[in-house]
Every structure is written in C-alpha cells, then in structure tokens.
Structure 1
C-alpha cells in the first residue's frame, strides 16, 4: 500500500510538472494561453490511451510487469521533455509521458483493490488516491522553493525523470504480483506463482486454487461492455468521471498561469497549486472516513457539488496571494474527495478478471474530459479575454455538475458476487493451510 501511494504520488507530480513549468515556458517562448492549453493537455491525452492500452496489459501480463513498463516510459518522457526546444517537441514528449502515467494508474488501482480487505478497501482507496495530490504538494514545494528559484522550468522535468527512474528497482524488488491476478488469469503454473505471492504477503500457501462458480461460459474482460449490468456501471462511471475531470483539471492545469497573470511571480504562482494539492490530500483522506460511514455514491455527489461552489469562488478573482491559495485549497479539497469516491466505485464495480481493463477503460474515457479541460479553458480565455475569469470558471464547473448527475443512477451493489465468493474461498483455504501447520 505504501509503495502504491508513492507511485500515485509520482503520477501526481509527473502530471502537474507541466503546470508548474507552464509560466516559464510561456515566458521563454512567448506562448499564448490557447497554445499552452494544448501542451498542458498532451499528457492527459496520453493518459487516456495509456489507461486503455496498458490497463488491459495489466490483466493480460500482470500488474507488476505493467507498472515496470510504465515507469520506463515515464522516465524517458520526462527526460526528453526537459531537453525540448520547441512547444511541439515538448508536447510530443508530454504525450508519451502520459501513456505511462495512464497505464500506471490502472495497474496500481487494481493492486490496491486486490491487496486490501473488503471492509478496509474504501479507506485504503482513499489513502491511495491522496497520493496523487501529495505528489503535487511535494513537487510544488520543490518547484517553488528550489527548482524554479535556483534553476528554470527544465529542472522540474529533470527532477521528475530522476525520481521516476529511482522507483523502477523499488517496484522490481519489493512489489509481488497480486494473488487475485493469478486466481483470475489461471495461467499455467498459476498455483505455484500465487503461493509465492501469498508467502511474500505473509500468508500461508494453499493446496489448490479457490473454486469460482461455473456459469457455463468463461468470463472475459469484454464483459464490461457485453454484460448489461457491467455495461451500465462502466458507462456511468466512464462518462461521470469524464465530466468531473473537465472541472478538476481546469484548476490543476491553469491555476499557476491564472495567478501569474494576476501579477505574482512564477514561484508564488506555483504555490497556489501546492496549496490546491494540500487541500486535495486532506479532502481525500477525510473522505475515506465519510465513505466508511455513508457508503460511496451519496457523499461523492455532495463533494462534487461543493467543489463546483469552490471553483466559482476561485473564479471571482482575488487581490492577495493568500486569498488565491485558500480558493485553490477549497477547490481541490472537495473535487479530489469526489475523485476518491470515483476510484472506490471503480474498485467495487469491476470483478478481478476485468479490473485492470475496466478501470483502464473508465480512466481512458475520463481522460477525454481531462485532456479537453485545458484546451477548452485556453480557447475560452482567448475568446472571452483573461478578465472574464468568473465566466470561464462557471462554464468549466458544468462538468462536475453533469458527473454528479450520472452518479445518481449508479447501482450501489458489487458487480459480481461470484468474485466475492472466490475471495472468501481463498481466505478459507489460507485459514485451513495455517491450521494444518
């Protein structure tokens, strides 16, 4: 769990690195907001493709191998972004970085769902999700207090590349494949490999695989769109998440540029995003307790709508730096709490055999909203003028409203009771093995 939180924090920093660097890039190369918005969306577009393509890889080849491949792609993309000399070049490398980030999110989400108990899964998912803004917080303090002060925007990407590369041996040495993957895939030698994973997790080996009820047909990852119940869950989560990220990434991508445009220095402008991520981490953490008490759907809808109000407050504009920081803090406090709710719904909504694919598909569709957010906001600013901050903010709020509306129709129960039965059978098998010595 600790390593999954670290990997999600790494994803958070790698995604936000372009936002931290954006004011410097705009100043060095004379880039307008509309063109800057395209660069800011590049890794989000890549994340969409990566979530679908590499997310499916997690179900086919395993969670661990997928995470290692994604780390390599991310490290290469960040390295070449730091040495880019044109806006087109950096846009291409940000897209490539996004491919790795998208696959990483799908794989780590599946791991968290599969190494935690059903009773503790919502809290575990909350801890995992707040890793994303924590990465932004750590990266923000590094950017505003060191990288952008002693160096320039290129140092932000170089720092991200080095930290990403450091994670490769840690994952290789310390992260076992999940037993649930072997139960779901049932490949040749799966029992032996699963027992190695169980021992690595401090559990007893078992004599046989748990039995999954035979329904007459072998389940397939395409069930997320073929089975009516799973199709409903998949589409509601995918498009609800897509609309929510339209609002979410408006703040995450444009806050430093907006604050810099209000007359503050690049390090001060970057600090607004740092405080936004502090709010996101705190809101996500507290939301885990809320979900344990009130389940997932209702609190997630409430958090999204409160986030809409916070974005509108941000759009009013402010005179002091601390007012900007407070406004940014509030937006992410509520909007990231809703993200925690979505991720908890992903973990509950998809069975193990299609969890990586289902999560990857939802994240992939969701990235359409994330990728479109800075582009839409950039063109809105160009069309309406930078002084129309409130109007642009209110338009961008509509995404979270639509997302909350779609969540209203989401079923509350688990997607597949047979998988729950298999997990129980695995627990029973471990208990018997432990009792036998």
Structure 2
C-alpha cells in the first residue's frame, strides 16, 4: 500500500464505522432524491382532478424535474469535480428545498412545472456528487456492497414517501402536502451533511489545492484512516489528465457514449412505470391513496431487486447479469400493461416491474463507478446521467401523448412501446467494454509518454 496516496489507503484499509456513517448519509440523500422525483407522481391524480388537464399535459408536469435533473447532472455534477463533493451537495440540497416548498403553493400548471424543473436541477447534481462520495469513501472490498445499498436508497425514498402519502398526506390533506413534506425533509438534511460528511481525500488528491496534504489528512482522520506525509509526485513528463478526457480519449469516449445512450434508453422504460403507474391505477377506478400504494409497492420491488442484484455483483461480472435484468424488466412492464382487476394484482405487477428495472439501474451505477477514473468520476457520472435523463424526461411526455393518441384503453400497446427502451439498452451494453477506469487512464497516460 502506498504511504503517500490517500486513494490507496481508502482502497486497501478496512472500513471504519465513520466511513459507513458517510455511506448511510449518501443512502439517505439518494432516498431523498427518490422521493422528490416521485412526489409529482404521487400528486398526479390530485393535480389532474383539480386542474382538469389531459394526460399529455400531465406528462409535461411529470417530466419537468427530470429535465432539470439532466441539466443539473451536467452543470452541478461538474461543480462537484471543481469545487468539491460536499459544497455541491449542500448547494443542491438548498435548491431542492426551495423548489419543493414553492411547488406546494403553485396555482397553475406552468408555475408548478417551473418549480419542478428547479427542484430537478438540485436532484441531478446531487446524484452525481453522492455517487462519487460513495465510490471514493469506501474500500475496494466493500465498494460493491456500498454502491448497491446506495442505489437502493432511491426506491427506498419512494417506499417511505409512498407510505406517508397513502396513509397520511393524501388522506388528511391534498396533493400539495406531498411537496411540503419533501421540502421539510430536504431542509433537515442540510445540517447533517454539513456536520457529518467530509470532503473526499480522492478529490483533494486529484485537484491538489493549496494545503492539499493538510486537507487530505483532515478528511482521513475524520474517516478514521491513517494520514500521509506527502502526496505522490505528479508525472510532469506526460500530459496531465483532464475531466474532458471522457469525450477526448478513445477508451473513455466509447465508454461514456455507450453508458450514456444505454442509460437513456433504459430510463424511457424505467420512468414510464414510476411516473404513470399512480395515474393508470387511479383511472382504473381506485382512490388516490389506493393508487399511490401501487407505486409504493413498485418501489419496494425496486429496493429488493436492487439490493439482491448488488450483492450478486460481488460474484458476477456487470454486463451479462444487467442484460438479463433488462430483458426480464421488458416482460414485466408488458404484463403490467395487460391490465388488472384488483388492487393486489396492480401492486404485484408494479413490484415485479421495478424489481427487474431497478436491478438494471444497479448494474449501470456499478458500471459508472468502474468505467471512469477518480479525477473525472463525478463529471463522467454527471455527463452520463445528464444524457440519460433525456430518456427519463421524455418518458412521461411520450407516454402522455401515446395515451392521448391511442386512448386509455390501449394500455398494453402503450406499455409495450415504452418497454422498447430497455430493449435498446441491451444492444448498447453488448458493445460496452468493461474495465477499471483508473487502470485504463494509467495505461493511456503511459502510452503518451
């Protein structure tokens, strides 16, 4: 183990309790992101009923924060590589809290759409920053498990928020209470992150700001790891790595685009279930609270599927199992679209769909962590998520227009069309080369000397 490289110290040392506390907080932040994204889906039947809007217009509302997430992943994800993961997370939390609070008081569709877009900016940046923190604060032996737990935080937020919505918020109040609840919980996370999450040693080692050794040692002491006396020397004889390498270096460029477009296609299918399940079930004759329970159970399925798949990735490679989950997800979405006569069947169909679809998401996040080197990990992840969010943002809009064009009774046809996104993701993964990003960057740099 290198005595001067903090990244190797983190990689090779046993995990401390303090490191696991950081991981738990990242899981909670991902859960918060999950609830904030799904809050509009829980509120959808109430919004439709109060303002009398068609599904195509509802699709625009449901996609607003997803569009914002695309911009936020690129803009604020890049900030995490330039100014630090911690500062980026705090800024994102502030933006999310303001956006959620203002959404609860919106008086028309377009005001609500604007505030949901602003909320999405924070969510997108948060996803890129927290993903990097998990990757850089965990040992190599524990990283796969930590990443799997982190990813299932996203549907876990939907589960917790769903139970709150179906048993309390949508029973005692109206759809606006869902957004207020999200604003309060988001605000509570700001002091927790400020007090308990250190900047990652890998960020300081990559950026090398003034007083880098002192800052790295402060982070290492907080994480209960041994400190360093000096940083390894930079290899000045060769070109220094840049975050723009994700689009300029041949090896990283192909990984970036294949991950970006594959993730984009998969989110077309993924967010069809997440965004329209509540409205579909409500249109089948169930109450808003009952319809919300379908999405709650869908997220339970997503959490279980993601957890099981993440643990299995410790023994399996990433690509083949992820392709299998994608194909099973396609079948489950088609079955969801076949329609069901009772609430239990709707719940199980949602559970099964998200079980497989979120397992595939775990596979993609594992590929993000492996595919990009540390100096560009947040930027690479943010870029891929930003491009991928085009599929997420387009999903409810496309589904809404399909429903308006074909009719609500054509649920199976719409579901099969929307499931084709995951089919396209399979083809992207088939061509994806899987290798460690840091090793690939070292090989490329050595070749240029």
TM-score above 0.5: yes
Whether 2:91 is the aligned partner of 1:69: answer yes
Normalising by structure 1, we get a TM-score of 0.95
Q: What SS is found at the alignment partner of 1:365?
A: helix
Q: Rate the CA distance shift 1:117–1:199 in 2: closer, same or farther, 3 A.
A: same
Does the 8 Å CA contact 1:134/1:281 hold for their aligned counterparts?
Answer: yes
1:284-295 matches, within 5 Å, as 284-295=306-317
Q: CA deviation at 1:178?
A: 0.4
Q: CA deviation at 1:211?
A: 4.3
Corresponding residue for residue 416 of structure 1 = 438
Q: Rate the CA distance shift 1:149–1:420 in 2: closer, same or farther, 3 A.
A: farther
Give CA deviations for 1:352-403 in whole Å, capped at 9, x if unaligned. 1111110000000000000000000000000000000000000001100101
Whether 2:265 is the aligned partner of 1:209: answer no
Corresponding residue for residue 416 of structure 2 = 394
Corresponding residue for residue 186 of structure 2 = 164
Corresponding residue for residue 375 of structure 1 = 397
**How far apart in 2 are the matches of 1:320 and 1:307?**
22
Q: What SS is found at the alignment partner of 1:387?
A: helix
> Which of residues 254, 257, 275 in structure 2 aligns to 1:235?
257
Q: CA deviation at 1:119?
A: 2.6
**Structure 2 regions of 5+ residues with no counterpart?**
1-22, 444-449
> Which of residues 57, 68, 75 in structure 2 aligns to 1:46?
68
Q: What SS is found at the alignment partner of 1:301?
A: helix
**How far apart in 2 are the matches of 1:420 and 1:319?**
57
> Which of residues 191, 204, 209 in structure 2 aligns to 1:187?
209
**How far apart in 2 are the matches of 1:332 and 1:90?**
27
Does the 8 Å CA contact 1:74/1:97 hold for their aligned counterparts?
Answer: yes
Corresponding residue for residue 23 of structure 1 = 45
Q: Rate the CA distance shift 1:227–1:420 in 2: closer, same or farther, 3 A.
A: closer
Whether 2:152 is the aligned partner of 1:130: answer yes
Q: How many residues of Structure 1 are paired with residues of Structure 2 in the alignment?
A: 421
Q: What SS is found at the alignment partner of 1:388?
A: helix
Corresponding residue for residue 424 of structure 1 = none
**How far apart in 1 are the matches of 2:334 and 2:279?**
17
Does the 8 Å CA contact 1:179/1:197 hold for their aligned counterparts?
Answer: yes
Whether 2:260 is the aligned partner of 1:262: answer no
Q: What SS is found at the alignment partner of 2:305?
A: helix
**How far apart in 1 are the matches of 2:236 and 2:153?**
38
**How far apart in 2 are the matches of 1:206 and 1:292?**
30
Does the 8 Å CA contact 1:20/1:140 hold for their aligned counterparts?
Answer: yes
Corresponding residue for residue 433 of structure 1 = none
RMSD: 1.1
Give CA deviations for 1:153-207 in whole Å, capped at 9, x if unaligned. 0000000000000000000000000000001111111111010000000011110
**How far apart in 2 are the matches of 1:297 and 1:418?**
18
Corresponding residue for residue 56 of structure 1 = 78
Q: Rate the CA distance shift 1:163–1:297 in 2: closer, same or farther, 3 A.
A: same
Give CA deviations for 1:12-36 in whole Å, capped at 9, x if unaligned. 0000000000000000110110000
Corresponding residue for residue 427 of structure 1 = none
**Structure 1 regions of 5+ residues with no counterpart?**
422-437
